[in-house]
Amino acid sequence: MNYSRKYIGIGMFVLAGAALLMPHALASSAQRQAQQQRPDVPIRIETDLVAIDVTATDAGGQYVRDLRAEEFQVFEDGRERPIDFFALTDEATLSRPIAVVFALDLSGSLRPEETATLRSAALRFTELMKGDAVFAAMTFNHNVKIIQRFTDDPRRIESAFGKANKFEGSTRIYDSIDRAVTMLAKQAPRQRRGRPVRRVVVVITDGFDSASTIDRKEMVRRAIEAEVTVYSVTLPSYMLSATQSIGRVITPLDATRIVAATGGRDFAADARDFTPIFRALAEEIRASYVLAYYPDRRDGKYHEVRVQTTRPGVRLRTNRTGYVAPTP
């Protein structure tokens, strides 16, 4: 991925090994201290970066928000790389901007009377996303339809969901996710007020696809390359609910592993109350770190990326497992 002319300025940060104002030059101790004392000043970076969104949890599933830069390690093709940029999204203000695409299944998984609950929960979610945020919405059954392009007005998302009331046809989950990824890559802002935008897809479905044409592996590849995190809100399948008395069934969407591969998480909607789900989703997005490093390869090839922490008992989820290096 090409991160040329990347603009980054997020909350708290720690620099390790490189001066952001002088790319590829070593930062002096005095310079690093000066940067850390001015955490809200946007920093312009005229170079390529490999950026990784990271979510950290403990053994009980609680978010870990106090990790330091020196507690992370980044490996490219098994070789440790220095972390040149580190930031923690501020929990209170959501200092990192986001772009979210909601993808709603209208093939019959959601009952018409439940759209009001979904609409109010989605509105609450947009309100919880303090700071700079833009949202878009689409629906899918046998067609994939954009019902609201990117907007910073939460009421437009609420209104768009209110018009999604025709439930019929087959299901194109994978095609809708791929369309959402394309929207984020081509239409969402890459930065707002000098800060990089985190890209998120929230797909609301029962997880059973019947009509998509895109290859599943290609869908996952495109999402990772576009730095998109996919979250799923899984509805009960009416076809299988009679045979499932405990827990939810494993769906074909689960089998694609796109949620896991992009560092996302599944939220089961068995209770048909979407408000706690979207509240948990907002907390999930707020509890994130971003790491970045300067790539030293310009071969146009794919390289695997892995992040780990030295703190015992902490589990990490990342939005990407690799990147395509720029060409010379």
42 within 8 A of 193, measured Cβ to Cβ: yes
pTM assigned to the model? 0.78
Query: What are the domain boundaries of the chain?
Result: 6-89+287-324, 98-286
pLDDT digits 0-9 by tens, 195-253: 678 899 999 998 999 999 999 999 999 999 899 999 999 887 654 554 555 567 889 99
Contacts of residue 258, Cβ cutoff 8 Å, sequence gap at least 6: 177, 216, 219, 220, 223, 230, 264
Counting beta carbons within 10 angstroms of the beta carbon of residue 114, is it exposed (0 to 12), middle (13 to 18) or buried (19 or more)?
middle
User: Token digits for 219?
Assistant: 């869908």
- The strand pairing partners of 87, in sequence order, are 13, 290
Asked if residue 81 has pLDDT above 80, the reply is yes
pLDDT digits 0-9 by tens, 123-176: 888 888 766 789 999 999 999 999 999 998 888 988 888 888 777 888 999 999
Distance from C-alpha of 107 to C-alpha of 111, rounded to nearest angstrom: 10
Distance from C-alpha of 257 to C-alpha of 224, rounded to nearest angstrom: 12
Neighbouring CB atoms inside 10 A of 166's CB total 10
Instruction: Tell me the percentage of the chain whose pLDDT exceeds 70.
Output: 77
* Strand ranges across the sheet with 12-13: 12-13, 85-88, 289-293, 50-57, 315-318
pLDDT digits 0-9 by tens, 265-321: 998 886 567 888 888 888 888 788 888 899 998 898 999 999 999 999 999 999 998
Cα angle value 231/106/184 (rounded, 5°): 40
Q: Among positive and negative, which fits the CA dihedral 56, 62, 66, 67?
A: negative
Distance from C-alpha of 11 to C-alpha of 93, rounded to nearest angstrom: 9
* Strand ranges across the sheet with 266-268: 144-151, 133-140, 98-105, 198-205, 228-234, 266-268
What's the farthest any 2 CA atoms get from each other in the chain? 66
Contacts of residue 114, Cβ cutoff 8 Å, sequence gap at least 6: 272
Write out the CATH class of domain 98-286.
Answer: alpha beta
